[in-house]
Amino acid sequence: MPYSLDPFRKKHATSFKQLFQPAQEALAGAPPLEARGNRPLKMEFEDHLKALVYFHLEEHTSAQHLLQVLKEDDFARDNIAPDDGIKKSSFSEATNSRGLEQFAYVFANLQKQASNILPQNHPELGDLVGIDGSLIDAVLLMCWADYRKGAKKAKAHLGFDLNRSIPRKIFLSDGKGAERPFVSQILSPGQTGVMDRGYQYHKCFDHWQEEEKLFVCRIKAGTKKTCIKSHKVDSDSIVFYDAIVLLGTPGNNQTKKQLRLVGYEIDGVRYWIATNHYDLSAEQIALIYKLRWEIEKFFAWWKRHLKVYHLIARSKHGLMVQILAGLITYLLLAIYCHQNYNEKVSIKRVRELRIKIQNELRDIDSNAVDLKNFKEQNLLHSYAKT
């Protein structure tokens, strides 16, 4: 039944409905989506959101692939696509020119939901936010994403909740965009930013302390250190250095504000960690930096299993819409896996969900065939009587 909603199908699409329910709740209070000029909307925001969540969930690799599925797949047509279907031009217009405010609203609202639902792994360490950037390969037509001659890249700057393993904030720049300026936008006072050596900049260390923002940042081993006060370390600990210092060369790039420097060694590798945390043990500082690996694992999983970097948009606006949709999909999966299995997101559970959706469709089709056969038999029986 092309472009007509089968209420029986919609009623029994329980798995996708359960997955999408938190987003449905997040839509409440979202700013209204308005048509441009006198043209009526071809796709409501909820339809657009569902389509992009389905795009990431099912690992589609292009907008054309998604639109074909929305047209020809029974489940997608009846449960995801707009009532009258959607054309390529209308989908492209929706993605590249509107809906960004609404996607950002749903992401922020859904992030709050997830934070209230998911347990914290290390609450004693404080509110930990991993901060990192990820390059996105772009096409040459994306002139705004300058990187170098013959190459275009965009860069996503992510704040990641290390205690709950979920994304928290996202910003987008061209591939050359510096990462350090986004730290102040990602962090709120009282939160601890956890960063690798690419974020080492002594003026930033001073600035973040002025903003009352905490940080745990690995620094280069050769950085000059002026020790002000050293702390005793246990001989059987992984920690070999703990002191209050000034970093950098005096009169050149030395920090104006004192900070704490912790050195520890694991598997023959020495790590130097600059921080303004004085309330935690040196071993806890080492653990915090170890947790930064969670953001690396997230980027790898997110890109591999949700295909978020298979671009369906060319504008900066459209790319941000797609990235937000990918983050929303991950948050929905995080809530779903916790509520159903009390587990973190895993490809095993995602595959099970995909199979459930397909099995529900097969059950619907099987019941529909049985019902059709039953009606035909009754009709033949009636004819036989007459």
Q: Are residues 163 and 247 in the same domain?
A: yes
Judged against a pLDDT cut of 50, whether residue 134 lies above it is answered with yes
Percent of the chain residues topping a pLDDT of 90: 63
- Calculate what percentage of the chain has a pLDDT beyond 70: 87
Q: Residue 153 domain-assigned? A: yes
Q: How many domains is the chain partitioned into structurally?
A: 2
The pLDDT confidence band at residue 290, using thresholds 50, 70 and 90, is very high
**How many Cβ atoms from other residues are within 10 Å of residue 82's Cβ?**
20
Residue 368 has what pLDDT? Answer: 46
What is the model's pLDDT at position 338?
97
Domain assignment of residue 124, yes or no: yes
Q: Own/partner pairs for 54-60, CB < 8 Å, 24+ apart? A: 54/16, 54/80, 55/307, 55/312, 55/325, 56/306, 56/307, 56/308, 56/325, 56/326, 56/329, 57/19, 57/306, 57/329, 57/333, 57/350, 57/353, 57/354, 58/354, 59/305, 59/306, 59/307, 60/307, 60/310
327-351 pLDDT per residue, tens: 999 999 999 999 999 999 999 999 9
- Please check whether residues 120 and 41 belong to one and the same domain: no
What confidence category does residue 263 fall into, taking pLDDT thresholds of 50, 70 and 90? very high
- pLDDT greater than 80 at residue 120: yes
Is residue 281 over pLDDT 90?
Answer: yes
Residue 299 pLDDT exceeds 60: yes
Q: What CATH number did the domain enclosing 177 receive?
A: 3.90.350.10
**SS3 per-residue string spanning 101-163:** HHHHHHHHHHHHHHHHHCCCCCHHHCCEEEEEEEEEEECCCCCCCEEECCEEEEEEEEEEECC
| pLDDT for position 372 | 47
- Tell whether 16 is covered by a domain: yes
Which of the residue ranges 96-105, 129-138, 372-381 would you say has the lowest mean pLDDT? 372-381
Domain that holds residue 37: 7-105+318-365
143/372: higher pLDDT: 143
Pick the last residue of a domain from 301, 329, 356: 301
pLDDT digits 0-9 by tens, 2-29:
434 455 445 557 899 999 999 999 998 8
* Enclosing H/E stretch for 219: strand 214-219
Asked if the structure places residue 377 within a domain, the reply is: no
Pair of tokens at residue 118: 């998911």
Q: Does 383 fall in a domain? A: no
**Residue 37: predicted pLDDT:** 57
Shared-domain flag, residues 271 and 323: no
pLDDT, tens only, 72-101: 887 888 888 888 888 888 888 889 888 999
**pTM to 2 decimals?**
0.88
For the cut 50, the answer to whether the pLDDT of residue 102 exceeds it is yes
Question: What backbone phi and psi angles, to 5 degrees, belong to 195?
Answer: -140, 160
If asked whether residues 290 and 357 sit together in one domain, one would say no
138 or 205, which is more confident? 205
Regarding whether 268 and 295 lie in a shared domain, the answer is yes
Q: Is there a domain that residue 75 lies in?
A: yes
- Cβ atoms < 10 Å from Cβ of 90: 17
In three-state secondary structure terms, 170 is strand
- Whether residues 43 and 183 fall in one domain: no
189 with 278, same domain: the answer is yes
pLDDT band at 217 (very low <50, low <70, confident <90, very high): very high
Structure tokens at 128: 């930990």
156 and 192 both lie in a single domain? yes
Identify the pLDDT of residue 381. Answer: 52
What is the SS3 string spanning 240-308? EEEEEEEECCCCCCCCCCCEEEEEEEECCEEEEEEECCCCCCHHHHHHHHHHCHHHHHHHHHHHHHCCC
Domain identity same for 238 and 330:
no
